[in-house]
Amino acid sequence: MKAVTFKNQQILITEVPEPDCGSEDLLVKVCSAGINAADILQKRGLYPAPAGIPQNIPGLEFSGTVVKVGRKTSGFSPGDRVTGIVGGGAQAELITIHYSNALIVPDSVNLVDAGGFSETYLTAYDALVRQAGLQMGEKVLINGAAGGVGLSAVTIAALLNTRVTASARHVEHHQHLKTLGATPVLPEDVSKNAPYDVVLELVGGINMEQNISNLSDDGRISVIGIGAGAKSEIDLRLVMSKRARIFGSTLRARTTQSKAGLINEARTKLIPLLDQGKLPITIAGRFDFNEAESAYESFSTPGKLGKILLVF
Ligand SMILES: NC(=O)c1ccc[n+]([C@@H]2O[C@H](COP(=O)([O-])OP(=O)(O)OC[C@H]3O[C@@H](n4cnc5c(N)ncnc54)[C@H](OP(=O)(O)O)[C@@H]3O)[C@@H](O)[C@H]2O)c1
């Protein structure tokens, strides 16, 4: 099969062996795979795949059609349309996934676009709902709102009937954020709607000082992205006096079992909403996988709105 591979920080399209379908795995013919910041870091040699995951094939999320099911799987058959998260290897013509980490794509959803669903919506749901416990009526700030995770977070927060402020530095993205149910602001204006009960940090350390001063009492900050820096100086007096809680998380390194817990919640809470058209997948660009280099360049160019997909 063909796959996107990294060698010496270069992107190649390479002939690689097909993956083995274990007894608890699904073998999936990939339809599309989203590009994520983790792939960019892996290309630069900074974020190696976890043990047991192909080291040279990037890709954390995909959509596709099941071609084979392991004998110890349940709930899936050949021909099923699926999406899922993996530790790597999704940017290839075939992939295997533990059946507990896969989700059925509703018939109402375009299978190409579904390749941009899992990493963004699962990350956003996990951070806002499972970690930060976002509640109806609360005020939430999403920093980095025009990216894949940000748009998903805005959508989920708006569906929860919270008051959503979406910070995005390109004013041309603000109308789209408004359509999703948020009040858009430029990063320099986030204080105007403070205090916030919850802050979702997708940009990095440069925002942390402001996040804490804009936090309400008993507020929560969920740190998910550090593309603009991992370090920050924060005033611990404010952390104490506001009874603040700061969470952090990564999805990739979690065990299959831990991911399955999140996938199970997504199966009952997110997939019905996806089916009803309430979880839009905003696509900034679709590229044939042979054009992976252009796709990666497009992902890394500031100003995109939503996901970049590789189509197989
Ligand atoms: N922890 C996890 O499990 C997990 C899972 C998925 C993603 N992530 C991380 O979460 C972050 C967001 O992911 P994503 O897929 O949404 O990425 P993305 O699509 O590239 O979006 C990132 C957004 O942040 C904005 N941004 C970047 N630097 C900024 C700055 N200095 N000031 C203001 N805005 C800035 C970008 O704007 P421009 O277009 O102008 O650059 C873009 O809109 C990434 O760092 C990613 O690595 C973590």
131 plus 234 within the same structural domain = yes
**Does one domain contain both 200 and 211?**
yes
How far is residue 262 from each of residues 32, 47, 124, 192, 265, measured CA to CA in Å? 22, 23, 11, 34, 5
**What CATH number did the domain enclosing 284 receive?**
3.90.180.10
- Cα 63 to ligand 1 centre (Å): 22
pLDDT given at position 72: 98
Determine the pLDDT at residue 143.
Answer: 98
**In 3-state terms, what secondary structure has residue 197?**
strand
Answer with the one of 233, 248, 263 that is the final residue of a domain. 248
Whether residues 127 and 244 share a domain: the answer is: yes
**Shortest-distance atom of ligand 1 to CA 304:** 39
Given ligand 1 and candidates 60, 177, 186, 203, which is best to mutate, with the most ligand atoms within 8 Å of its CB?
203
Q: Specify whether 170 is located in the same domain as 225.
A: yes
What pLDDT was estimated at residue 239?
97
- Written as six digits, the tokens of 49 are 């795949």
Q: What is this structure's pTM?
A: 0.97
- Which amino acid is present at 188? E
Nearest to 112 by CA among 60, 59, 64: 64
Count of domains observed in the chain: 2
Amino acid 51: pLDDT: 87
In the listed set 204, 229, 248, which residue is the last one of a domain according to the structure? 248
Taking the centre of ligand 1 as the mean of its atom positions, its distance from the CA of residue 204, in whole angstroms, is: 9
Same domain, 244 and 125: yes
Measured on CA atoms in the order 91, 287, 272, 222, is the torsion positive or negative?
positive
- Cα(202) to ligand 1 centroid in Å equals 5
Indicate the residue among 213, 248, 283 that finishes a domain.
248
Q: Which atom of ligand 1 is nearest to the CA of 303?
A: 39
Question: For residue 203, how far is its CA from the centre of ligand 1 (angstroms)?
Answer: 5
Both 238 and 136 in a single domain?
yes
- Identify whether residues 243 and 130 lie together within a single domain: yes
52 Cα–ligand 1 center, Å: 27
Distance from Cα 6 to the centre of ligand 1, integer Å: 22
Sheet arrangement for strand 139-143: 183-185, 163-167, 139-143, 196-201, 215-223, 245-248
Separation of CA 55 and ligand 1 centre (Å): 23
Q: What is the pLDDT of residues 58-115, one digit of tens each?
A: 999 999 999 999 999 999 999 999 999 999 999 999 999 999 999 999 999 999 999 9
- Name the one residue in this structure whose structure tokens are 């109308």: 175
Which residues does residue 85 pair with via DSSP β-bridges, in sequence order? 61
Closest Cα to atom 18 of ligand 1: 147
Question: What is the rounded distance in angstroms from the CA atom of residue 186 to the CA atom of residue 10?
Answer: 35
Element (H, E) at 274: helix 271-275
Q: 206 and 148 in one domain?
A: yes
My answer on whether 259 and 111 are in the same domain is yes
Tokens of 209: 């000082």
- Position 127 scores a pLDDT of 98
Token duo for residue 7:
């060698």
CATH of the domain at 225: 3.40.50.720
Cα of 79 vs centre of ligand 1, distance in Å, is 34
| DSSP three-state, residue 303 | coil
Q: Are strands 102-104 and 81-85 parallel, antiparallel or unpaired?
A: antiparallel
Mutation to probe ligand 1, out of 169, 176, 262 (largest number of atoms < 8 A from CB)? 169
Contact 22, 114 (CB under 8 A): no
List ligand 1's pocket residues with C-beta within 6 A.
36-38, 119, 123, 144, 146-150, 168-170, 187, 202-203, 224-225, 227-228, 249-251, 302-304
Nearest atom in ligand 1 to the alpha carbon of residue 41 is 47
Quote the domain boundaries for residue 260: 2-117+252-311
Residues 256 and 218 both lie in one domain: no
Residues 69 and 213 in one domain: no
Buried b (16+ CB within 10 A) or exposed e, 73-102: beebeeebbbbbbbbbbbbbebbbbbbbbb
Contact 280, 108 (CB under 8 A): no
Question: Which positions of the chain have pLDDT values less than 50?
Answer: none
Å from CA of 22 to ligand 1 middle: 34
What span, in angstroms and rounded, lies between the C-alpha atoms of 118 and 157?
Answer: 17
Distance (Å, whole) CA 19 – CA 131: 34
Q: Are residues 305 and 241 in the same domain?
A: no
Q: How many angstroms separate the most distant Cα atoms in the chain?
A: 58
| 181-201: pLDDT as tens digits | 999 999 999 999 999 999 999
Cite the DSSP H helix spans in the chain: 37-43, 111-114, 118-125, 148-159, 174-179, 208-213, 236-241, 256-269, 271-275, 292-300
Residue to mutate (ligand 1; options 224, 232, 300; most atoms within 8 A of CB): 224
